[in-house]
Amino acid sequence: MQSTNPATGTPYLDHELHSEAEVRRRLTLATGAQKDWSQTSFSHRAGILNSIADALEASVDDHAPAMTREMGKPIAESEGELRKCAWVCRYYAEHAGTFLAPEAAPADVESTDTFVRFDPLGVVLAVMPWNFPWWQVFRFGAPALMAGNAMLMKHAPNTQDQAARIERLCLAAGLPEGLLQMLVTDNDGTGQVLADPAVAAVTLTGSDRAGRAVASLAGQHLKKAVLELGGSDPFIVLDDADVEAAVREGVRSRCLNNGQSCIAAKRFLVQDGVYDEFVERIVATMGTMAMGDPTDRGIELGPLAREDLRDELQRQVHASAFAGARIRCGGMTAERPGWFFPATVLTDLTVDMPVWREETFGPVAAVHRIGSVEEAVGLANDSRYGLGASLFTADLERARDVAAQLEVGAVFVNRMTASDPRVPFGGVKESGYGRELGSFGIREFVNVKTVWIA
């Protein structure tokens, strides 16, 4: 596997695949380490998670430039990602004991003592994506470790340097050897690891194609799986919305991480009364975004992470324009080294165009005029995805009603969709199943065990 700087297209680091013997050694190490770890107290685990958080905060200036170099996100966003990882470690260090405390059975159960306890499942395989190469690992890893599990991290081929850095940082911060290990392996090797009896469960963040493959293998071997997959999130702006705020949040959501986020605003549904103003404002904002070297703090957009991702985005935009969409700004691959694509706005859409029907993984906003709230809900739900949604309106009672009708895992009113350690995160339909974060996320990889004492 190879690390390549997407801002220049230049490879700079090779990573050798682990041999079968090395994978086996790491599996064995994880199994032994997890058994010992499962016997430790929550306070002991919390102390180590807090040490990892300290290490993350202390090493931002070291790891953030490496993240930007390997996958292209603006440097300030890389720094923010590392600090968010520290936050999720501290959050679960503080709350895991409460989330996983034994629960008493109902009072009418006739026994001396009946309760439910939450025991770790064991070794969990984590198949991780490149777009948030640290946050996705810690979003799963912090609660999984606090629950008493071990983690085998199969990271994306183009972010292997980040995986190695995560492993080294956790070891140096005091996490016992074997509890968080990277596996440098291909898809076939990943399947073999998942099939191994030493692995109890799997989590994956990635495309729906990868999710189908992992879910199929997990099903064959009767193993628990949590899948966080793609999204084509609707961003609804009603007539009574604060248009300036909606544009500000919409642009931020669509262009964060250079537009490469599963929960980014992708399909903008804007009601008649504010449509023209919204389009004018979003075109003016996205049309003037500074694009260039992501290590430059004045830059708002860096490159896409890989050449094939840029080419696919270009295909979606061109095919939609050929079908009649109007490109209001951007729309063409940048004529420069690296895999850059400018912030793009399209209007005059039909719902069968690629930028509307498919997930767009880059800074492309598809804006569609709607006449009513009912139309907005119908179009929002007319998608194979169901990850998140944003809704902008001054009528909060109506917002609650609309939120209940949207077929997604999260609805954010008057702000962009985001993941937060304090609330559950995940989707429905082809955006996956299971939840991460909050009290629900930490209970995904535990054995909910009834103990009945007569």
pLDDT tens digits for 205-221?
999 999 999 999 999 99
Indicate whether 256 and 405 sit together in one domain: yes
Catalytic residue among 262, 329, 358, 444: 262
228 among known catalytic residues: yes
Which CATH number fits the domain that encloses residue 85? 3.40.605.10
Q: Are residues 117 and 263 in the same domain?
A: no
75 contacts 68 by C-beta, under 8 angstroms: yes
**Could you tell me if 125 and 202 are in contact, meaning their C-beta atoms sit under 8 angstroms apart?**
yes
Confidence class for position 334, pLDDT limits 50, 70, 90: confident
Mean pLDDT, the chain, integer: 97
- pLDDT at residue 106 tops 90: no
Q: Are 265 and 253 in contact (CB under 8 A)?
A: yes
Q: Is the pLDDT of residue 335 over 90?
A: no
366 and 222 in a common domain? no
Same domain, residue pair 82 and 10: yes
Per-residue pLDDT for 229 more than 80?
Answer: yes
171, 272: one domain: no
Same domain, 314 and 225: no
Q: What is the pLDDT of residue 173?
A: 98
Q: In this structure, are 146 and 190 located in the same domain?
A: yes
Give the full edge-to-edge strand order of the sheet including 446-453: 103-104, 113-120, 446-453
Q: What residues make up the domain containing 270?
A: 233-420
| 336-341 average pLDDT score | 95
Same domain, 401 and 253: yes
| 157 within a domain of the structure (yes/no) | yes
Confidence category of residue 112, pLDDT binned at 50, 70, 90: confident
Per-residue model confidence (pLDDT) at position 342: 97
Give tens-digit pLDDT for 262-302.
999 999 999 999 999 999 999 999 999 999 999 999 999 99
The residue-averaged pLDDT of 373-384 equals 98
Residue 336 lies in a domain: yes
In this predicted structure, the answer to whether residue 53 has a pLDDT above a threshold of 90 is yes
Residue 213 included in any domain = yes
Q: Which two tokens stand for residue 326?
A: 């109007």
Cα-trace Rg, the chain:
23
Residue pLDDT, tens place only, 117-148: 999 999 999 999 999 999 999 999 999 999 99
CATH number of residue 403's parent domain = 3.40.309.10
Least confident of 174-188, 329-343, 433-447: 329-343
Active-site annotation holder among 70, 79, 228, 430: 228
395 and 361 fall within a common domain: yes
Residue 426 included in any domain: no
pLDDT-based confidence at residue 454 (cuts at 50, 70, 90): confident
Strands ordered across the beta sheet of 224-228: 180-182, 150-154, 123-127, 199-205, 224-228, 432-433
Domain tally for the chain? 2
351 domain residue, yes or no: yes
What confidence score (pLDDT) does residue 96 get? 98
Rounded to whole angstroms, the Cα distance separating 406 from 389 reads 8
| 3-state DSSP assignment of residue 67 | helix
- 409 pLDDT band, cuts 50/70/90, is very high
Same domain, 249 and 314: yes
- Whether residue 190 lies inside any domain: the answer is yes
CA–CA separation, 141 and 155 (whole Å): 13
Beta strands in 155-296 (DSSP E): 180-182, 199-205, 224-228, 233-237, 265-271
Residues 123 and 196 in one domain: yes
Distance of alpha carbon 424 from alpha carbon 292, whole angstroms: 35
Q: Note the pLDDT of residue 38.
A: 98
Task: Give the pLDDT score at 60.
Answer: 98
Does residue 425 lie within any of the structural domains?
A: no
Structural domain includes residue 189: yes
Query: pTM of the full predicted structure?
Result: 0.97
Residue 171: C-alpha distances to residues 22, 55, 127, 337 (Å): 18, 10, 20, 37
Q: In terms of domains, do 188 and 318 share one?
A: no
pLDDT score of 107 more than 90: no
